[in-house]
Structure 1
């Protein structure tokens, strides 16, 4: 079958306008977490349903993650433009409905619709860049795409607070409409592709099996994170369903004429190394993102603003390193740029593991920045390397698989690191308080400035020490995963060969 191919080499595609459009689309999905989290107190006060607070985020992220590999394959079958347009349309429809939600159940359902569309944006945006730009240009453009996340981390909270205070929380979602329509218009009118010459065959069975396998896994991890021993049956049952679905999916993919996730991708050494490293890096990312602000607030006693600033510097190091990597990748090759990222990741994780309270928030910021720099060097190299190792008709699936592995890494990491943290905190509480030890909810009170005043004064140093020790255990696990990521970058092929040869081989195929 001959697929659609982008006419990147024809004058019809206006690359700057297409790039601006995909960056706008990525901005919308990147800003979702920060802009909504800032507005959630206002949303809860209006709609009620605090018990569903977490599902406003989990529902979106689960549906986004499970659809990423499916959209990647569809983009290979039907072309980038129509699949990107369909995803954006779903995302914008969900955004419009979220602003009209009448209760928390409706909001969660519409957030799932948003996530269903958002799964198309990042993988296809990166795939379009791989189509439009040469190998020498691609690394630099990845730096531009990384800068979107830095901007969104700063703009998101400010916009969310502005809309809640001066307008209505609905505008947190409705602001997506004009920006999204502008992005959709740009991609539709300025990206040119040649239509497929034969009817593509969609692997519906494989898509369904993958959807339910990943969905059940992410639900098991999300539910299990909060489940005690007495309620462990539900996450265990979901994990069993996921395992059965994954087995069925692999069997289906071996026989499908157009597999939704071609198993041949797992026979390429570069793919395997980059994707496993992406999974490990996802665990590192969630470990820092979730626990560094908690350490700053609960142990150092700093304000949420200062804690957020310590984490935000990661969003500065990431695009900065991605840009530097992109500029030097054609000269240095994949191996040197990726291993540089591995070194920065280990340096950042080591800084956090060795951190002592007397270092202050500057020490946390230093570790955060180094982690961001490591992610910028490593992940931008992985994307460019993967896209350079496959042809057009596999680039969407390959890019989506890579992003999917990082997403699974963050989900598994959130559950595993959360379990590690809870185990250590529970042990420290019993060491400090004996049989009269409070339960883990006492740390909710420690992190709330108003509630903290109601705690006995003699408890505070004990609780801070316990929290610091628990997060120290998490940072130790982050260090292990950072070292694993660094070792995987060393295993990347092409240590002595440049980028050109791999690109030439793909072109010849």
Structure 2
């Protein structure tokens, strides 16, 4: 059993690394995390061109979903493998898998081949993101980890903004193939640097691998991601497909818990749930993930259809949020390193997040864009400390032998919250539109978000258009009310976090 808040074990699983190499390794790790994160976001602006070249319009959403699905599954498995066999092996393997997937996408001659390559990319990307964060726990004392995790969180947030812009630039000036080939030099450089500077694990003994637990966790996460991406859009909520996925997810999680209690080296040790820090931080991440993904998913639609701005400009409204996230993530990490304190940071940040989301419940067709941008800054400031401080707090509270598993859990629970939030908010928004638009635009009200385009709304008679815009804005209000409530629950839960001393 893991003692509640026992703290990290004293012996690190890796050989000691010279102090002069730490910065080099951390730089390579940050670059690795950045290009793995870019793998998801860089593709969005290239999709129309790829469809025009390869065909397969009916498969377009799977280019994004395949990556998300594989990365969600790959992350917790990689976290455990890193604990068993060392971060170096997992990082270098992840880089190779990611690059091979990128090359397959770049030379693909059909959309099916692109999707196959994206599955490989996603598996490698998920492993890279989690293992990069775990390396920080191996190399730095607890007091310094918040600062480094803040930088990694900033790199992750930066990819959300620069990914679509870089993808658009490469498509316009070269071709869509280069959005995949551009990863090669960065991946090669990171592979070489990590091979030289990061030591291998000293223990080479044979380990027991929890294959059954890994398969059940993969099944649960896959079903959850598929529900969030297809329910209410591809399939009706009451359809056989959606209900079957829900039953599969439920059965998988029940069997997973039973298997993990008996496994010699469980993918996710059940004893960790007795650890206050692990439990509180991951519950907060779950709630915040719901709030964050709800915002990111539906705000661009409101800006394009209701405010009438272009898709590119609507995407730029994520920049204020990411600016706030970068500032708060790095700033909170520095505060943690300077003072050794961290408990109040997620309390205050989630309170700010709740207030910022509450301000979004007033969205209307005449809402000024500057006010929306201001709310997005508040949302980013609220998110930043949760990401950087949460991972560092977990790494400080669990044995070093479980560092990868603990780091992966923070990412996994946030993604689970995002999947549940996206699905639930999508159903709520669609139901609200069906109710609000049934009189003015019955076919759109019944069909949901995918049947409404900005051009279609702009072409409506003025009176009808005014009612439709009001109906769309009103349908969003419950989404942001519930997101604000989720952030408030996260705030209350954060007060239960027990602050542990940080080694320096």
TM over 0.5: yes
Pick which of 205-214 and 215-224 moved more.
Answer: 215-224
Q: Is the 8 A contact 1:277 1:485 kept in 2?
A: yes
Secondary structure, counterpart of 2:207 in structure 1: coil
User: In structure 2, how many angstroms separate the alpha carbons of the residues matched to 1:206 and 1:343?
Assistant: 36
Tell me the equivalent position of 2:278. 271
Alpha-carbon offset, residue 159 of structure 1: 1.8
Q: Is the 8 A contact 1:383 1:399 kept in 2?
A: yes
Tell me the equivalent position of 2:424. 416
Tell me the equivalent position of 1:198. 205
Secondary structure, counterpart of 1:398 in structure 2: helix
Tell me the equivalent position of 2:466. 461
Pick which of 79-88 and 338-347 moved more.
Answer: 338-347
* C-alpha RMSD over aligned residues: 2.2
Alpha-carbon offset, residue 458 of structure 1: 3.5
Is residue 493 of structure 1 aligned with residue 501 of structure 2? no
Alpha-carbon offset, residue 227 of structure 1: 4.4
The counterpart of 1:369, out of the listed 362, 370, 377, is 377
Is residue 349 of structure 1 aligned with residue 347 of structure 2? no
Alpha-carbon offset, residue 307 of structure 1: 2.0
- In structure 2, do the counterparts of structure 1 residues 41 and 473 end up closer, same or farther at CA, with 3 Å as the change threshold? same
Secondary structure, counterpart of 1:258 in structure 2: coil
Q: Is the 8 A contact 2:59 2:111 kept in 1?
A: yes
User: In structure 1, how many angstroms separate the alpha carbons of the residues matched to 2:496 and 2:166?
Assistant: 43
Alignment of 1:93-492 (within 5 A): 93-196=100-203, 198-229=205-236, 232-330=239-337, 331=339, 333-432=341-440, 438-441=444-447, 446-449=452-455, 451-492=456-497
Alpha-carbon offset, residue 151 of structure 1: 3.1
User: In structure 1, how many angstroms separate the alpha carbons of the residues matched to 2:97 and 2:47?
Assistant: 22
The counterpart of 1:81, out of the listed 54, 76, 88, is 88
- In structure 2, do the counterparts of structure 1 residues 370 and 332 end up closer, same or farther at CA, with 3 Å as the change threshold? farther
Tell me the equivalent position of 1:71. 78
Tell me the equivalent position of 2:66. 59
When the two structures are aligned, how many residues end up with a matched partner? 494
User: In structure 1, how many angstroms separate the alpha carbons of the residues matched to 2:470 and 2:61?
Assistant: 27
Pick which of 183-192 and 71-80 moved more.
Answer: 183-192
**Post-superposition CA distance 1:144-179 (Å, at most 9, x none):** 112213432333222211221221101011111111
Alpha-carbon offset, residue 474 of structure 1: 1.2
Q: Is the 8 A contact 1:329 1:337 kept in 2?
A: no
Alpha-carbon offset, residue 212 of structure 1: 1.8
Q: Is the 8 A contact 2:78 2:90 kept in 1?
A: yes
User: In structure 1, how many angstroms separate the alpha carbons of the residues matched to 2:449 and 2:285?
Assistant: 32
Secondary structure, counterpart of 2:309 in structure 1: coil
Q: Is the 8 A contact 2:88 2:194 kept in 1?
A: yes
User: In structure 1, how many angstroms separate the alpha carbons of the residues matched to 2:206 and 2:330?
Assistant: 40
Pick which of 257-266 and 418-427 moved more.
Answer: 257-266
Alpha-carbon offset, residue 478 of structure 1: 1.0
Secondary structure, counterpart of 1:318 in structure 2: helix
Secondary structure, counterpart of 1:137 in structure 2: helix
Secondary structure, counterpart of 1:225 in structure 2: coil
User: In structure 2, how many angstroms separate the alpha carbons of the residues matched to 1:121 and 1:351?
Assistant: 36
Alpha-carbon offset, residue 91 of structure 1: 0.7
Pick which of 214-223 and 416-425 moved more.
Answer: 214-223
User: In structure 2, how many angstroms separate the alpha carbons of the residues matched to 1:220 and 1:415?
Assistant: 7
The counterpart of 2:39, out of the listed 22, 32, 35, is 32
Tell me the equivalent position of 2:23. 16
Unaligned runs of 5+ in 1: 505-509
**Post-superposition CA distance 1:189-219 (Å, at most 9, x none):** 1112442153211111211222122212322
- Normalising by structure 1, what TM-score? 0.92
Alpha-carbon offset, residue 441 of structure 1: 4.7
Q: Is the 8 A contact 2:39 2:125 kept in 1?
A: no
Q: Is the 8 A contact 1:94 1:110 kept in 2?
A: yes
User: In structure 1, how many angstroms separate the alpha carbons of the residues matched to 2:312 and 2:450?
Assistant: 18
User: In structure 2, how many angstroms separate the alpha carbons of the residues matched to 1:197 and 1:225?
Assistant: 49
Alpha-carbon offset, residue 37 of structure 1: 0.3
Alpha-carbon offset, residue 44 of structure 1: 0.7
User: In structure 2, how many angstroms separate the alpha carbons of the residues matched to 1:182 and 1:470?
Assistant: 48
Q: Is the 8 A contact 2:437 2:444 kept in 1?
A: yes
- Normalising by structure 2, what TM-score? 0.93
User: In structure 2, how many angstroms separate the alpha carbons of the residues matched to 1:294 and 1:328?
Assistant: 36
Alpha-carbon offset, residue 4 of structure 1: 7.4
Unaligned runs of 5+ in 2: 1-9
